[in-house]
Structure 1
Amino acid sequence: MGASAVVLCLVLQLMQEVKASVGNCIPRKTVKYQTLNVEMFVKEGLSNVSALLVDEETDRLFVGGRDVISALDLNNISRETAREHWFATQERQLECIRRGKDKIRCQNYILVLHKINDSHVYVCGTNAYHPLCDHMVIQRTKMHLQGRAEESRGKCPFEPTLKYASVFVDGAFYSATSNNFLGTEPIILRSMQNPVRTEFKTSWLKCFVGMEIVPESEFSPDGDDDKIYVFFTETAVEFEFYDKILVSRIARICKGDLGGKRLLQRRWTSFLKARLSCSVPELNFHFNIIQDIFFLRRRKWQDSIFYGIFSQQWGRLDTSAVCAYSMASIREAFSKGSYRGPITVEHSHVRWMVFRGEVPVPRPGACIDNFARNLGYNTSSDLPDKVLQFARDHPLMDGSVNPIGERPALLKRSSNYTRIVVDRVTGLDKQTYDVMFLGTDDGYLHKAFNCDGEMFIVEELQLFLSPEPVQFLQLSAKKGMLYVGALSAVVQLPVSGCQRYKHCLDCILARDPYCAWSQAAQACVLLSDQSADTKNLIQNVKYGDASSCLSVGIEIGILLNVEFHVKYLFTLGNNVHLKCVPLSNLARVVWKFNGSRIRDEDSKYLLYDGGIAIFNATAAETGFYDCLSVEKSKAKEFFITVARYALYAQQNATKQKSVGSQKENLVLKLLCAGFALLFFFLFIWNFYKGHISLPWRIRETSSKDTNADLENPELTTERSEAVRESSAVQADMS
């Protein structure tokens, strides 16, 4: 076999392993809506939920909807503490309809909610395709708009369904959205202080999904500036292809950017953008459309991580990927990478080529730092024209920002992720785990993490009774709560439901960093609620090794005996069906009959999802059937008995019934014999006393009386007369 053939075999093997890992990355547990304990805010008048704002300082959750803003209790969102309506005027709605928009969209959708301080929230709405922003004043259980609404082109989208991004930083409002009614002029804008915006390019800046500030000036030895990072998707200009290729981008601007003096006046001088790479190269899986972004902030900004959800433009459109990016790789792409710029070739055809010439000093697109100040450039308006010209003509970096590990942290088929938040949790082993919470387009929430390159989904939760896309997802790490917004409802649920795991094995195999098994309480408990003494707790997030649940000396493979069994009567010759569901989606079922394992190849049985079928059952099939849930974790198998049946043949029951009937008949016969004997003794006693005469003696007495009457006629006549008198008296009385 040649070297090329060996390489090909290795590549194919790797592809199969990766495909298997993608296919097998299924949630361990599925929790349906009916068994999920959540708080929900559903109220008349609330529709088209379009913004969420978590305020941990005042214990409020602000919800923006169509024509309304609600303030909810952060501890229990079913309790609304205040409400404020904000309607578009009738004139504005009529104008919107005249311009071709439908009546429903020609209302005021609250899309922007930003906290300014404990008493003020910055609010923006579409206002029937004429965006307005205002300040909302918060006073305990009341809130009201100041009534000083200002026109907000570029701050808030015109279109309610258009994706956008914004942040509020030190009195300045940064926004990324469309700047016109038609949605054809994308813009990144700073308003309220030193207004600056991007240049307008028709192919740029489409589909904004996120904007974050990174305090890179903190403890910076170079006197660097804070950065604003923007995430979006746009049509690629650097690739030549028969079809338009979409790419995900990360753009960077400097917080202290004031624009240029002659060139780029009121335009960003620091605007640069780079491609975000999220792919599985060996499988040619390229996830080039970014759906959402989350910034996991750490105490040191250098340790912070961006997590993004990506989907494919072509291929399997039902596959989602999560990629994580370090600040080091992002900084390197912008501070050390080469630039690309447009070059006209072949009759006005433009190609974006890598710039190979000398780059001006100070570096174009860089923030003002100590190096620039030493050269006499204290603000962006001081920069020379050649630097500004270069920055304007070369906004695209050549290199891409690659994810941590050079591959996705999570790949999931048959799921379209829409929103993501990430929480960093410290386990019992003192290791930290980045737990991802992912909303889907059918109303589920996945909890997942990546441990040393292994993808693991702890559980999936059905948040809504009917499929509904997760539109918003907010995390309160302080409360340990998640807040999920769909079009018609808001849901509150804890970051973990440890109480759902009833057995030690189930708790440990879940590998949930939030949960541990308490040997003292014999329950799965929230780790953060436990005291500093953790000797009594069991957890194994990294490997899911539940060996600690077993007694010393017992080999791996435990049978947790159920306390009761189900009695099952069957008729000889019939088929018997016994139900059983494994403990998790990762477990398989093993059946045992009177302690011996039932094999798949046994033609007497049919093993299927949900149970077992016993064909043409005979008396030999009577006995005990055990259903065991078997789950494998790091080459070890763990067994839990989840069902036990005791089978009895119907004829046995008939025999038992026949024996019972014989006993009843015997008792009845004995009672009858007793009554007969008692009657006989009573008859003899009455005869002895003379209360009863024999029949022939009665006849003898009658004959004697007759003879006496014949011998004495007078007595007979007297008797006849007495009888006639008695009859006459009875006639007179009647």
Structure 2
Amino acid sequence: MKTRFSVHIKRYLVYRWLFCGVCFQCVFPKDPPNPRLTLDQGDKRLSYDRNCSHTVLFQESNHLFIGGINHVLQVDVDSGQKILKNFTLSSEICAEKSCENVVTVIEQFQNCTFVCGTNGENPRCWKLYPGENYTLTMEGTGISPHTCTQNSLSLVADGDLYAAAPLYNDGTLLQFRRKAGNRISLWMHDQWLSEPTFISSFLAKRNDDTMNEKIYVLFREKNSDTSPEADPWISRVARVCKVDEGGPKQFLQNIWSSFLKARLVCGIPNESLYFNRLQDVFVLHAENWTDSRVYALFSSSWNFTAVCIYSLEALDGVFERSSFKDYNKEIPTPRPGTCVQNSKSLPIPTLQIIKDYPEMNDWIHPIHKDTPFFTSTDSYTKIAVDRVNASDGHVHNVLLLATDKGTILKVLEDDYKAFIISETHLTSGSAPIQSMKLDSERKKLFVGYPDQMAVFDLQRCQDYNASCGDCVLARDPYCAWTEHGCMSQTKGIQNIANGSTSECSRSLGRIKRDLRSPPLVSLRIQHTVPTDVPFYLSCPVESHHATYRWEHKEKNSTCQKTQSECLFLIPAMTKDDYGTYKCMSHERDYTKVVKEYKLIPEPVLSTAVQRRAQEWISIFVTVVFYICCL
């Protein structure tokens, strides 16, 4: 009883500590905490008159394939031309089970577009050909789930198809398997995972050492620790050798002979606060596999979100050097998990550890061990990362985070610190984003919603086109200031390192057109205001990182700030309240006039004019009253 009571007290203190708002910034610092800009992209949709409540995206060259219910939509991303391929079920299947054929897999496999779907809870796969033709190719059990609510993933690597999907329609026997291709089919030992949810898988290419290439699988599984303070889920990374052919006939035949797994950590280890629920993964591959980065999106039991970044070399090092959990004897040779040309010749002691002790003792930590790269109180669903060659001659990474409200967060990775460039609304609604596909070559992000597809342009430099200062303050590596304004070019004025606008002044000799401040003509507004009446002024909040003030007759006043406007209220106009008001913004080393008002008093009429006006008003009121009473 005492132990349980202490657990509850500990949990209460942790939650109070997190939610009080006083200590949260100390634990998970966010500087700055908000997106610099809130933008509305407008209507850039790929609309389709079909139910696509379960969206699967796949891109091959300039063709985007969108999987939905009973169809695949093929879109030419350059011309916008669409081809619809129907995958409706026969009446015999509909009579017995669900009529829905939800497309869950689209891959390029065996020189064709390979499509698999639930097929009325009887998974099937097809090959698509140019035009509208397709042919049934194989049973889809273990490749596609039986229903769209069941967990699954797929991967094609070097001519082999890997997949994770339940073997049975009740969702059981969910494993990661090699299903088809050049090598034999392999599956997992039943005891290796506990109620897994697979998130992502990828092949790490080694151009100079193909035999040691490995497939990595990221997932979360049920935590074996059932104590009250433990999270019910644990995030994992597993790996297998690409050349794995399974064990010999007497042991682990047709089962992965190189399978190992390790815990993936994101949080504050010193405080025992972890984000244990892996949500999504994006791998930024490099020419040398050791330079590749794994970006992982997590959620927590207290409804916070985090992004942690991992070095693939360090991640792989855990599998190479860690001891095996709960195994205390001498490690045999070859070391379990080693890639060999003929896995069927591996000795039994090596395979015995793979079977009984596949988990590594060491945990996989992010590049910065003490804190996540990014944390938020908002809920995020998807992540993508683009590598950008910027005007400063350096390569910068930009994270694209999808929210459950349908917006995209654009985040600059600045020396492992997050600078939030913008949050963009892509559609008028607030539906959660279900899928994303990055086209790095065209600098576009295809975003799948329940009933539509949106295209996010990563090079929206027109959003910072007001001046050189606005362009530089954005710190957007896609953009730079040129003689034509803020443009998506690699040559121009930009300061991605710190956003200082002093570069604008130093570079005037190279840039002919200086628009450091927008012309005030378009910003001036004149109002005629009578005395003794309340009046308020407003100007747009262009940057959430700027401070705003109102200037009037050499006096400065703070504004009443809303999410989108800076307001100034005059309770009752007096003689001293007339004149010029300027809404000023200050950000870093840049100050500008956002809006300017001129308030003038209402003209004073002569006594005769006032008497004549009153007579006409009296006549008008009498006429209106007479008409209303007829």
Q: Is the 8 A contact 2:42 2:427 kept in 1?
A: no
| Structure 1 counterpart of 2:595 | 643
- CA deviation map 1:525-560 (0-9, x unaligned): 0024xxxxx4xx21011101112234799xxxx865
Inter-partner Cα distance in structure 1 for 2:324 and 2:608: 93
| Structure 1 counterpart of 2:115 | 123
Inter-partner Cα distance in structure 2 for 1:271 and 1:85: 39
Inter-partner Cα distance in structure 1 for 2:328 and 2:151: 36
Q: Which amino acid aligns with 1:83?
A: L
1:454 deviates by 2.6
| Structure 2 counterpart of 1:570 | 529
| Structure 1 counterpart of 2:512 | none
- CA deviation map 1:593-625 (0-9, x unaligned): 13x13235xxxxx74433100122211111100
Describe the shift of the 1:112–1:269 C-alpha distance in structure 2 as closer, same or farther (beyond 3 A). same
Inter-partner Cα distance in structure 2 for 1:93 and 1:645: 68
Q: Is the 8 A contact 2:28 2:375 kept in 1?
A: no
- CA deviation map 1:94-143 (0-9, x unaligned): 433xxxxxx5xx510001000136x61111001111111121112xxx13
Describe the shift of the 1:24–1:94 C-alpha distance in structure 2 as closer, same or farther (beyond 3 A). farther
- TM-score between both structures, scaled by the size of structure 2: 0.86
Instruction: For 1:668-679, list aligned pairs within 5 A.
Output: none
Q: Which amino acid aligns with 2:530?
A: T
1:429 deviates by 2.1
1:398 deviates by 1.0
1:579 paired residue among 538, 544, 559: 538
1:241 deviates by 5.1
1:88 deviates by 2.5
Check if 1:114 corresponds to 2:126: no
Select the structure that is richer in helix.
1
Inter-partner Cα distance in structure 2 for 1:161 and 1:657: 81
Inter-partner Cα distance in structure 2 for 1:654 and 1:21: 61
Describe the shift of the 1:614–1:13 C-alpha distance in structure 2 as closer, same or farther (beyond 3 A). closer
Q: Is the 8 A contact 2:231 2:276 kept in 1?
A: no
Q: Is the 8 A contact 1:472 1:485 kept in 2?
A: yes
| Structure 2 counterpart of 1:254 | 241
Describe the shift of the 1:517–1:597 C-alpha distance in structure 2 as closer, same or farther (beyond 3 A). farther
1:397 deviates by 0.7
Check if 1:295 corresponds to 2:275: no
Q: Secondary structure at the match of 1:196?
A: coil
2:70 paired residue among 58, 61, 67: 67
| Structure 2 counterpart of 1:227 | 214
Describe the shift of the 1:560–1:550 C-alpha distance in structure 2 as closer, same or farther (beyond 3 A). farther
| Structure 1 counterpart of 2:88 | 87
Describe the shift of the 1:591–1:14 C-alpha distance in structure 2 as closer, same or farther (beyond 3 A). closer
Instruction: For 1:40-55, list aligned pairs within 5 A.
Output: 40-55=45-60
Q: Is the 8 A contact 2:293 2:311 kept in 1?
A: yes
Inter-partner Cα distance in structure 2 for 1:73 and 1:109: 22
1:249 deviates by 0.5
Inter-partner Cα distance in structure 1 for 2:596 and 2:348: 82
Q: Is the 8 A contact 1:409 1:455 kept in 2?
A: no
Aligned pair count reads: 578
Inter-partner Cα distance in structure 1 for 2:528 and 2:364: 66
Inter-partner Cα distance in structure 2 for 1:323 and 1:469: 22
Check if 1:367 corresponds to 2:339: yes
Q: Secondary structure at the match of 1:390?
A: helix
1:199 deviates by 1.2
2:555 paired residue among 597, 601, 607: 597
Inter-partner Cα distance in structure 2 for 1:548 and 1:157: 55
| Structure 2 counterpart of 1:134 | 126
Q: Is the 8 A contact 2:204 2:289 kept in 1?
A: yes
Q: Which amino acid aligns with 1:467?
A: S
1:433 deviates by 1.2
| Structure 2 counterpart of 1:509 | 473
- CA deviation map 1:656-703 (0-9, x unaligned): 9969x9xxxxxxxxxxxxxxxxxxxxxxxxxxxxxxxxxxxxxxxxxx
Inter-partner Cα distance in structure 2 for 1:449 and 1:480: 15
1:497 deviates by 0.3
Instruction: For 1:268-287, list aligned pairs within 5 A.
Output: 268-281=256-269, 284-287=272-275
Check if 1:458 corresponds to 2:421: yes
Inter-partner Cα distance in structure 2 for 1:552 and 1:65: 52
Inter-partner Cα distance in structure 2 for 1:17 and 1:75: 45
- CA deviation map 1:432-465 (0-9, x unaligned): 2111111111100111022124321111111221
Larger-gyration structure (1/2) = 1
| Structure 1 counterpart of 2:134 | 145
1:237 deviates by 2.7
Unaligned runs of 5+ in 2: 1-19, 509-515, 613-630
| Structure 1 counterpart of 2:322 | 337
Q: Which amino acid aligns with 2:395?
A: T
Inter-partner Cα distance in structure 1 for 2:605 and 2:548: 34
Instruction: For 1:330-729, list aligned pairs within 5 A.
Output: 330-340=315-325, 353=326, 355-368=327-340, 378-407=341-370, 410-501=373-464, 502-518=466-482, 520-521=483-484, 523-528=485-490, 534=491, 537-550=492-505, 562-564=520-522, 565-594=524-553, 596-600=554-558, 607-609=560-562, 610=565, 611-632=567-588, 636=589, 638-650=590-602, 652=603, 654=605
2:184 paired residue among 194, 198, 212: 194
Inter-partner Cα distance in structure 2 for 1:242 and 1:620: 64
1:37 deviates by 4.2
Inter-partner Cα distance in structure 2 for 1:20 and 1:336: 31
1:74 deviates by 1.4
Inter-partner Cα distance in structure 2 for 1:475 and 1:327: 21
Q: Is the 8 A contact 1:46 1:68 kept in 2?
A: no
- TM-score between both structures, scaled by the size of structure 1: 0.74
RMSD of aligned Cα (Å):
2.7
Q: Which amino acid aligns with 1:364?
A: P
Q: Is the 8 A contact 2:192 2:358 kept in 1?
A: no
| Structure 2 counterpart of 1:347 | none
1:339 deviates by 0.6
Describe the shift of the 1:205–1:380 C-alpha distance in structure 2 as closer, same or farther (beyond 3 A). farther
Inter-partner Cα distance in structure 1 for 2:272 and 2:548: 36
1:566 deviates by 0.9
Q: Which amino acid aligns with 2:332?
A: P
Describe the shift of the 1:328–1:219 C-alpha distance in structure 2 as closer, same or farther (beyond 3 A). same
Q: Secondary structure at the match of 1:401?
A: coil
Inter-partner Cα distance in structure 1 for 2:372 and 2:472: 22
Inter-partner Cα distance in structure 2 for 1:450 and 1:656: 69
1:336 deviates by 0.5
Q: Which amino acid aligns with 2:421?
A: V
Describe the shift of the 1:49–1:625 C-alpha distance in structure 2 as closer, same or farther (beyond 3 A). same
Inter-partner Cα distance in structure 2 for 1:283 and 1:458: 30
Describe the shift of the 1:247–1:618 C-alpha distance in structure 2 as closer, same or farther (beyond 3 A). same
Inter-partner Cα distance in structure 1 for 2:390 and 2:413: 14
Inter-partner Cα distance in structure 2 for 1:49 and 1:323: 27
1:21 deviates by 3.0
- CA deviation map 1:394-442 (0-9, x unaligned): 1111111111122555424232111111111122222221111111111
1:655 deviates by 6.3
Q: Which amino acid aligns with 2:90?
A: T
Q: Is the 8 A contact 1:184 1:202 kept in 2?
A: no
Q: Which amino acid aligns with 2:188?
A: T
Q: Which amino acid aligns with 2:35?
A: P
Q: Which amino acid aligns with 1:47?
A: C
Check if 1:172 corresponds to 2:192: no
Inter-partner Cα distance in structure 2 for 1:365 and 1:14: 46
Q: Secondary structure at the match of 1:389?
A: helix
Q: Secondary structure at the match of 2:133?
A: strand
| Structure 1 counterpart of 2:616 | none
